[in-house]
């Protein structure tokens, strides 16, 4: 049985969504952030030295990193929700699978950290937001070309893109001034598998 060690309001929510889309049976172990620091509880370190979430357990395997977990689960189901057959779409799939964490997420995380630094943090945020806006404009332009990030059908690349874009609605300035991105978020939130994942994971501030 697959077990997901799931932290509230975190990247691990999209792993639950993927599992629901793939129809794989799984178990959830829930962890709650410290209400003051918003950090993961120390109990996660008993499972993995980094003490982060998501952590996936499957038949003795312990795997971290959302992208690696997504690729593992896609491979486990014979490539379902994986790279499309078309060569150019395959490249888009790989690009957005990695872009979500490598490029889009860092400035959002930096803004979150700086928001907790008095005075100087607020000044620094003014320089971070334009960086985020470049990414959000890029995402909007890509969704003007096709309905999903890798083409005509939803893939695991869309699942990877979900968390940074959800987070951007709360701390990155993403709103209805970018209607295609907001419509994409509404579309994924309406999926039955997404709704089942919310029930499995519990409280999630970004849906």
State whether 75 and 94 are in the same domain.
no
For residue 15, what pLDDT is reported? 98
Query: Do 85 and 78 touch, CB atoms closer than 8 A?
Result: no
For residue 120, what pLDDT is reported? 65
For residue 112, what pLDDT is reported? 85
Task: Give how many domains the chain has, as a whole number.
Answer: 2
Concatenated DSSP letters of 6-39: EETTSTHHHHHHHHHHHT--EEEEEE---TTT-P
Predicted TM-score of the model (pTM): 0.95
Angle at 128 between CA 125 and CA 133, to 5 degrees: 125
Q: Quick: pLDDT tens for 75-121.
A: 999 999 999 999 999 999 999 999 999 999 999 999 987 877 776 66
State whether 153 and 68 are in the same domain.
no
- The CATH number of whichever domain residue 35 belongs to comes to 3.40.30.10
Neighbours of 177 (CB within 10 A): 10
State whether 70 and 96 are in the same domain.
no
- The CATH number of whichever domain residue 149 belongs to comes to 1.20.1050.10
């Amino acid at each position: 049985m697959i077990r997901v060690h799931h932290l509230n309001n975190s990247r691990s929510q999209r792993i639950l969504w993927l599992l629901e889309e793939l129809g794989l049976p799984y178990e959830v172990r829930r962890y709650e952030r410290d209400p003051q620091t918003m950090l993961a509880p120390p109990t996660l370190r008993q499972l993995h030295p980094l003490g982060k979430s998501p952590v996936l357990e499957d038949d003795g395997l312990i795997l971290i990193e959302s992208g690696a977990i997504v690729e593992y689960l896609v491979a486990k189901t014979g490539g379902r929700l994986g790279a499309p057959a078309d060569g150019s779409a395959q490249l888009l799939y790989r690009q957005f699978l990695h872009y979500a964490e490598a490029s889009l997420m860092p400035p959002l995380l930096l803004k979150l950290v700086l928001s907790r630094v008095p005075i100087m943090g607020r000044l620094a945020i003014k320089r971070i937001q334009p960086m985020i806006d470049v990414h959000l404009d890029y995402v909007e332009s890509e969704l003007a070309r096709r309905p999903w990030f890798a083409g005509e059908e939803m893939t695991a690349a869309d699942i990877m893109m979900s968390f940074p874009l959800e987070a951007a609605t709360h701390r990155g300035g993403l709103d209805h001034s970018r209607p295609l991105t907001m419509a994409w978020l509404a579309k994924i939130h309406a999926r039955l598998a997404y709704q089942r994942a919310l029930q499995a994971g519990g409280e999630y501030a970004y849906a």
